[in-house]
Structure 1
């Protein structure tokens, strides 16, 4: 079996006991590998008690958990509070784990020098290329290190040399690959491939009885006969949730509820100024918007099952949000935008795709009204989503990932 090391971000743990889109994908890879047995995986992860417990269930995956010293955790919290509350930076989340990540990268780098893995996969963050700087790791892994790219690289952190020499970039969409090629033109097309995201159909692709749906709606304090628009994901400005709620308010659909599931940074102590602002707006809308906070990924399937339409209103170049995959796998009608890689996953048969740059609030408002007043269009979109999900399975995702590391898997 090929020995493969996956270096995760150092923010959230893998297995994904505290959420996180990339972390959930890594957990999917681990689970699928238990079935296919192509790889002997080692996961580098931030330390977490529940993640350690969860990993005991896996035979073909081990982990090196890196525990952050208490004093670093305290200093990082102070830095974040200063940036968020005093400087009021809009991207304050990026300052939450600065010292932790430096500590984590140094520890990973040292560990990588002790074992020669057949392949090294760096997950998403350009800072992780710093593990190649010391201990002869660049020479040791030259020709066999990979970059699993989920988001645009805006800062290389002086790692251009290591990014340029990457064996292959596994991008989640053609769009996201194009952004890195534009940033580093010296890279060749042969260094890029697309590994499309997927989600666990066992979590999302199931139907519930009316009684089960009513129980879930009761638990969520949703009227049983209401029409439910669902948003799941991080509550960040670029995700368009503020515009979506304003549009929903303007639409003024009497029997509709907007269910908002998520938090600014998954299951952490981060509460951004934007999230507080959003919650204040929601509280003025007479309970027509329901705000659940963070819900673990493994519990989201039942919530998708009671929703009528999923809303994914990204107003930035979103590479390939897992919420799109979740909605498709749940067989739902979708309202979304033409952002980043989203159009590579949806089409006009299963979605209303609006221009994120032109009158986005008005277009969202019209879309809310359209699907509410045309139930047959929802049925058609649901059929198409169920058709698309057949091409977006975890088995296909895993095979594409393995093929990218080894051209001739069994």
Structure 2
């Protein structure tokens, strides 16, 4: 029987990572290779990396050209200048040689601006195709219900961020910048027409695709695959009491300030541990009380140890995250989760079952207090998290869905 040959396209790929998307791309490629699929990855080249190589059964081709950092305004301009041109040049060249059965575009920025006469799939894990600001957060107050140019103008002048990038007042009130963002959004939105099948990583993403003209029959919801290891490097947490943990970027839209303010109002010996870095670090340190600890950015090898020693995981994001990998990891390790009730969070947190969904600082404080005080409730919710992972997020469940869509 002929081996299925798949090309996965990802603008960035480990070791060049800027978020969960690249990690998910690697885990998918590795898992498919383990299933006997012939897996090629087409990604961007960066200095110090080999252009051609093989790892974990994956053939990696680093020939695309793009910007060095998607969180930089100037590097994003380079991405717009180079990426699609190099993608169009290389993808046809490689396909002519290898004759792939399926070409799968991972992460929204990798979707081509041109049509390919081959079975194509795209994983949608963000809002690049639906929102000029790429975060679907209207005026940074509420989830956006849909965009047009007048509405966008009212939104951008009342926003501090485009995607994960904090923008200056000069850009926020710059008509040329407005036009650049809006026309780039229109262009990205049109690329949806170039794809045959879509994989959404949450029901929330599925709804956005349908709103933008994609038929439901062409969408399959498949959560990001996990290759979590229970063992790893030991991270020594010396704190006593109940351990509340946040893992992620320290940016305004992540809501870490709200978490700290809520935690500051809780009396007792519980500790809040914050892992991550970002532009808000100095401000967050200034408002934190003596029971809050900042650990900065940590290597992924320590993640299992951190989860094992944590009692409660909190995801307080203000913006509607599509579906955080933290949810998958927290359920795997059997932890109660408190998260804001927006985006894809309600799929990782079943309210009152394996955690709580909250809408404001006061609710966050109340639910934290409840979990900190009641060990039996934490234990009950921990079991529910493990059950949820096994039923919805396990590697076995996810790969069965990929078998169906890839037909191998």
RMSD: 2.8
1: CA distance, partners of 2:302 / 2:187: 40
Q: Please tell me whether residue 167 in structure 1 is matched to residue 196 in structure 2.
A: yes
Select 2:220's aligned residue among 193, 204, 214. 193
Structure 1 contact 127–159 (Cα < 8 Å) conserved: no
Displacement of 1:95: 5.6
Confirm whether residue 30 of structure 1 aligns to residue 29 of structure 2. yes
1:246 paired to 2:273 = no
Separation of aligned partners in 2, 1:249 and 1:104: 46
CA distance in 1, matches of 2:242, 2:50: 40
CA contact (8 A) 2:336 2:378 kept: yes
Change (3 A) 1:49 1:299: farther
Instruction: Choose the corresponding residue for 1:47, options 17, 20, 45.
Output: 45
1:178 maps onto 2:153 in alignment: no
Q: Compare 287-296 and 384-393 and name the one that shifted more.
A: 287-296
Partners of 1:279 and 1:289 in 2: CA distance: 13
Tell me what 1:257 maps to.
271
Specify the alignment match of 1:374 in structure 2.
374
Do the aligned partners of 1:9 and 1:125 also contact (CA within 8 Å) in 2?
Answer: no
List aligned pairs for 1:269-308, cutoff 5 A.
275=279, 277-308=280-311
Alpha-carbon distance, 1:378 to partner: 0.4
Higher relative contact order, chain-length normalized (CA < 8 Å, sep 6+): 1
Give 1:190 shift.
Answer: 1.3
Q: Which consecutive unaligned segments of at least 5 residues does structure 2 have?
A: 133-184
Q: Distance in 1 between matches of 2:27 and 2:388?
A: 19
Cα deviation, residue 115, structure 1: 2.8
- Of the candidates 298, 308, 312, which is equivalent to residue 309 of structure 1? 312
Equivalent pair of 1:3/1:119 in contact (CA under 8 Å): yes
Q: Which position in structure 2 is the counterpart of 1:3? A: 5
C-alpha distance in 2, partners of 1:256/1:93?
37
Count of matched residue positions in the alignment of Structure 1 and Structure 2: 346
- The gaps in structure 1 that reach 5 residues or longer are 81-91, 133-137, 265-274
- Distance in 1 (alpha carbons) for counterparts of 2:64 and 2:190: 29
Displacement after TM superposition at 1:352 (Å): 1.3
Distance (Å, rounded) in 2 between the aligned partners of 1:164 and 1:54: 31
CA distance in 2, matches of 1:401, 1:51: 30
CA 1:166–1:154 in structure 2 vs 1: closer, same or farther (change >3 Å)?
same
TM-score (norm 1): 0.76
State the secondary structure of the residue aligned to 1:362.
helix
Q: Check whether the contact 1:329–1:389 (CA below 8 A) recurs between aligned residues.
A: yes
User: In the alignment, is the contact (CA less than 8 A) between 1:17 and 1:51 conserved in 2?
Assistant: no
- Secondary structure at the aligned position of 1:315 is classed as coil
Residue matched to 1:202: 229
**Pairwise mapping of residues 318-329 of structure 1 onto structure 2 (< 5 A)?**
318-329=321-332
**Normalising by structure 2, what TM-score?**
0.76
Looking at structure 2, the residues matched to 53 and 108 of structure 1 have their Cα atoms a distance apart, in angstroms, of 15
Asked whether the equivalents of residues 338 and 367 of structure 2 are also in contact (C-alpha less than 8 Å), the reply is yes
Q: How does 1:10-409 map to 2 (within 5 A)?
A: 10=12, 14-16=13-15, 18=17, 20-37=19-36, 39-47=37-45, 56-59=54-57, 61-66=58-63, 96-100=75-79, 102-116=81-95, 117-126=100-109, 128-130=111-113, 132=114, 138-141=115-118, 144-152=119-127, 153-155=130-132, 156-182=185-211, 184-185=212-213, 187-203=214-230, 216-217=236-237, 222-223=238-239, 225-251=240-266, 253-264=267-278, 275=279, 277-347=280-350, 348-354=352-358, 356=359, 360-391=360-391, 392-406=393-407, 409=408
The SS at the match of 1:5 is strand
More helix by share: 1
